[in-house]
Amino acid sequence: MAVSPSQPRAGLAPLLRLALLPALLVYLVALGLSHAAGIDAELVLRDLAQTCQHPLGVGLLSNLGYLLWTAAAAIALFGALSGVTGARGRHRQLLLLGGGFSLLLALDDMFLLHDRYVGSTFLYALYAVFAVALLLRYRSLVPALGGLSFPVAVALLGGSVILDALQEALPFGYNAVQLVEEGFKFLGIAAWLFFWWQAAAGASRLSANP
């Protein structure tokens, strides 16, 4: 249920139910699963760069990519569920789907689901189908909310995936292909975040003229 901005949740009970208990559950489950896998708790709790003794710049762009994915998910889900934007109907559906999809992309990128646990071909095909279906299902809303930012994001991210799939067949060195591939990906994530920011900000405007 959407929360009215004029009636914010207050008191200890909502804090426990919506913030502290879910966070505690995630904390305990992560430690429990790690223990079952034989991973020392210290390795789970400490920062990866600290554990591996790497300098600050190692993995910097990858870490920034996680933050951008997560920001897109947070903005879209907040826009759909908070009631602040006034999103409803198809606008709210779009934000919910986009927020959930962005969260999945963030988790995939953070934990390398496409490389280690689920086939990259399957996941990339699934992502492409979902993105195209989203564009077609909300073909009137997407350009009205974000102009060209959504198709530009999809094109950049798709270009990154294509380069990744074809890098062994291309007449360039691995490092050169990686530079372009990761550049496409980073720019694509930035455009993706920009679209969902536009979508959340514009929902209140469009909801007045459904």
- Please give the C-alpha separations between residue 195 and each of 8, 99, 142, 182, in angstroms, as whole numbers: 27, 11, 9, 20
104 and 126 belong to one structural domain: yes
Residue 5 has pLDDT above 70, yes or no: no
Which long-range contacts does 36-40 make (Cβ < 8 Å, 24+ apart)?
none
180 and 129 belong to one structural domain: yes
- Please give the C-alpha separations between residue 124 and each of 1, 47, 66, 100, 109, in angstroms, as whole numbers: 33, 29, 17, 16, 12
Within a domain: 52: no
199 and 155 belong to one structural domain: yes
- Percentage of the chain exceeding pLDDT 70: 89
65 and 117 belong to one structural domain: yes
Task: Give the confidence band of 9 by pLDDT, cuts at 50, 70, 90.
Answer: low
pTM: 0.83
Residue 2 has pLDDT above 60, yes or no: no
Q: What mean pLDDT do residues 100-126 have? A: 83
19 and 40 belong to one structural domain: yes
Residue 1 has pLDDT above 60, yes or no: no
74 and 41 belong to one structural domain: no
pLDDT for 206 equals 61
85 and 182 belong to one structural domain: yes
172 and 138 belong to one structural domain: yes
160 and 96 belong to one structural domain: yes
Within a domain: 30: yes
Q: Specify the number of domains making up the chain.
A: 2
- Please give the C-alpha separations between residue 51 and each of 41, 42, 84, in angstroms, as whole numbers: 12, 9, 41
| Domain that includes residue 139, residue range | 58-205
The span from the CA of 31 to the CA of 48, in Å, is 16
Within a domain: 1: no
Average per-residue pLDDT in the chain?
85
Give per-residue pLDDT as tens, 142-168: 888 888 999 999 999 999 988 888 887
